[in-house]
Amino acid sequence: MLETVIYIAGALIFFGLVMASVALHEVGHLLPAKLFNVKTTQYFVGFGRTLWSRRKGETEYGIKAIPLGGYVRMIGMYPPSKERPNQVRATRTGIFQSVADQARAAEWEEIRPEDDGRLLFQKKWWQKLIIMAGGPMMNVLLAFAILLGVTATFGVYRETLTVSRVDECIRPLDAPAAACSPNDPKTPAFQAGLRTGDQIVSFNGVPIESWGQLQQAIRANLDHQAKIIVLRDGQQVELKPVNTALNGVRDEWDPSKIIQQGFLGVTPEADRERGGPVTVLNDMWELTQRTGYLLLQFPVKVFNVARDLVTGKPRDLYGPMSIVGASRVAGEIASTDQVPVADKLAALALTLGNVNLFLALFNLVPLLPMDGGHIAGALYEAVKRALARLFRRPDPGHVDTARMLPVAWAVGIVVALSGAVLIIADIFDPIRLFG
Three-class SS of the chain: CHHHHHHHHHHHHHHHHHHHHHHHHHHHHHHHHHHCCCCEEEEEEEEEEEEEEEEECCEEEEEEEEEEEEEEEECCCCCCCCCCCCCCCCCCCCHHHHHHHHHHHHHHCCCCHHHCCCCHHHCCHHHHHHHHHHHHHHHHHHHHHHHHHHHHHCCEEEEEEEEEEECCECCCCCCCCCCCCCCCCECHHHHHCCCCCCEEEEECCEECCCHHHHHHHHHHCCCCEECEEEEECCEEEECCCEECEEEEEECCCCCCCEEEEEECCEEEEEEEECCCHHHHHHHHHHHHHHHHHHHCCHHHHHHHHHHHHHHCCCCCCCCCCCHHHHHHHHHHHHHCCCCCHHHHHHHHHHHHHHHHHHHHHHHCCCCCCCHHHHHHHHHHHHHHHHHHHHCCCCCCCCCCHHHHHHHHHHHHHHHHHHHHHHHHHHHHCCCCCCC
What pLDDT is attached to residue 397? 82
Q: What is the pTM of this model?
A: 0.88
What pLDDT is attached to residue 418? 92
Indicate if the pLDDT at residue 91 is higher than 50: no
What pLDDT is attached to residue 360? 96
Catalytic residue among 3, 26, 159, 252: 26
What pLDDT is attached to residue 98? 54
Q: Is 60 a residue of the active site?
A: no
pLDDT above 70: percentage of residues in the chain: 93
What pLDDT is attached to residue 102? 63
Residue 199 banded pLDDT, cuts 50, 70, 90: very high
CB 76 within 8 A of CB 117: no
Indicate if the pLDDT at residue 245 is higher than 60: yes
pLDDT tens for residues 291-349?
A: 998 898 899 999 999 998 899 888 888 889 999 999 999 999 999 888 899 999 999 99
Indicate if the pLDDT at residue 106 is higher than 90: no
Domains of the chain: 1-39+75-155+275-435 (no CATH), 157-273 (2.30.42.10)
What pLDDT is attached to residue 101? 59
pLDDT tens for residues 205-238?
A: 999 999 999 999 999 999 999 999 999 999 999 9
Q: Which residue has the higher pLDDT, 230 or 398?
A: 230
pLDDT tens for residues 52-82?
A: 999 999 999 999 998 888 999 999 888 876 5
Mean pLDDT of 32-38: 96
What pLDDT is attached to residue 105? 66
